Amino acid sequence: QVQLVESGGSLVQPGGSLTLSCAVSGFTSVYHVGWFRQAPGKEREGVSCINFFDGSTGYSDSVKGRFTISRNNVKNMVYLQMSSLIPEDTGIYYCAAERTSRPFSRCDLSSPYDYWGQGTQVTVSS
């Protein structure tokens, strides 16, 4: 059973930095892991994703250059390092995963991710 647990959400000032963590378990194949966020009254937005096997990544245009996704296979962790934060980054951040049959495949934030964590709140405010 695939399980995802997010942590690290907090209140941070504009321009600040924050790193979110996602503990993953139950991976029996190659998976893509993605970070998504949702602000009140807005649709869920794909932020970044990574192929847990080969480390290839993808980013939304809104966070490209500011956020970095990474993974640690030994620790079974996925991280989202966020910098130059702006109020628009505020929202509940979710970690999600999808299984793929191809080891070397680029993740896609528009794909229907199957497994989801409970979310962690990130608030960017003075």
pLDDT at 49: 98
d(CA 52, CA 55): 6
pLDDT at 44: 97
Query: What three-state secondary structure class fits 86?
Result: coil
Query: What three-state secondary structure class fits 56?
Result: coil
Write out pLDDT tens, residues 85-123. 999 999 999 999 999 989 999 999 999 999 999 999 999
